[in-house]
């Protein structure tokens, strides 16, 4: 294995093939449903999770991975010969995941060899934004960048990272309590397809349209203006409608042929807050925010 390993949480939602390719250890977020605990991506598939939600949404709850889950991931990589571990988590403003990973790091410092370096980083984002950042780090590791170079590069990439979420309706994310007041008010009055952005750990209202296709066109216009040819990676995520996302990918490719576009599926942890038929996009912009 590489001398530098990656740990992240399950909201980034990598397939087994991707985990192997990028050498990523996914620490699962927990779902509590009807007095049982399920680990995202291990004990619970997206299809099962959404079935649970339809059955009894009021009995659905989530919790950050335990400190011991992160500690187990750090121990695993250290035992396999990793000299450094980079742990990227979803934004600390929306989850205790970052804090638990930091606590695991402190424990690991006392029991792992001194030469094993661990850096826990708040991605400031989630889902497709976190996924894009993790993949980019994996690519840089393969390119041979050292630990210090990677940490510096991550801080730069975080400032360039853009993430937009196109919702079918505001009503699901409204119940999460994590949206701007203006978005909830507009969404409650008008039947719009809202667009939210997530950057620096904060969710912002980025616009809306009557039809979802117009929301996608708004995002495409922003992407065309901000597209960074030096960082051409674009990541899309969907909930239960891969065909619509494939169509959006084709549309982006026609407008921006240089874009390197990949598609992934939302973790149900995020899907609970956004609702079905959600599409999200992440990319690295030209300007540092």
Confidence (pLDDT) at 192 = 77
pLDDT at residue 209, as a whole number = 84
Q: 165 has which bridge partners? A: 196, 280
- Two tokens at 28? 């699962």
Higher pLDDT, 188 or 158: 158
pLDDT over 90 at 202, yes or no = no
**Which segment, 166-175, 176-185, 195-204, 263-272, is predicted with the most confidence on average?**
195-204
Sorted by where each starts, the structural domains of the chain and their CATH numbers stand as 4-159 (3.40.50.10170), 161-284 (3.30.1180.10)
pLDDT over 90 at 255, yes or no: yes
Taking residues 120-138, report their average pLDDT: 96
Is the pLDDT at 178 greater than 80, yes or no? no
Looking at residue 118, its pLDDT comes to 97
Across residues 27-32, what is the average pLDDT? 91
206-231 pLDDT, tens digit per residue, is 888 888 899 999 999 999 999 999 99
Sheet with 84-89, strands from edge to edge, namely: 24-27, 4-9, 84-89, 117-122
C-beta atoms surrounding 88 within 10 Å: 26
Check: pTM over 0.85? Answer yes or no. yes
């Amino acid at each position: 294995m590489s001398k530098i390993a990656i740990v992240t949480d399950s909201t980034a939602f990598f397939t087994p093939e991707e985990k192997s390719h990028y050498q990523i250890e996914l620490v699962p977020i927990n779902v509590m449903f009807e007095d049982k605990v399920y680990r995202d991506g291990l004990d619970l598939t997206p299809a099962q999770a959404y079935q649970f939600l339809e059955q009894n949404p009021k009995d659905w709850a989530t919790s950050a991975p335990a400190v011991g889950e992160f500690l187990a991931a750090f121990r695993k990589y250290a035992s396999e010969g990793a000299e450094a571990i980079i742990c990227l988590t979803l934004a600390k403003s929306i989850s205790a995941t970052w804090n638990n990973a930091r606590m695991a790091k402190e424990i690991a410092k006392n029991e792992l060899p001194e030469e094993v370096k661990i850096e826990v980083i708040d991605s400031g984002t989630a889902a497709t934004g976190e996924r894009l950042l993790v993949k980019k780090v994996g690519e840089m590791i393969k390119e041979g960048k050292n630990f210090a170079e990677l940490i510096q590069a991550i801080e730069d990439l975080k400032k360039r990272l853009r993430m937009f979420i196109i919702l079918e309706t505001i009503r699901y994310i409204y119940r999460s309590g994590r949206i701007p007041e203006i978005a909830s008010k507009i969404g409650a009055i008008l039947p719009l397809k809202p667009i939210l952005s997530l950057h620096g750990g904060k969710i912002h209202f980025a616009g809306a349209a009557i039809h979802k296709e117009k929301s996608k066109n708004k995002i495409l216009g922003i992407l065309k203006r901000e597209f960074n040819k030096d960082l051409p990676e674009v990541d899309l995520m969907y909930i239960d409608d891969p065909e619509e996302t494939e169509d959006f990918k084709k549309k982006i490719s026609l407008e921006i042929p240089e874009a390197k576009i990949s598609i992934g599926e939302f973790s149900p942890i995020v899907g609970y807050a956004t609702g079905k038929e959600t599409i999200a996009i992440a990319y690295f912009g030209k300007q540092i925010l």
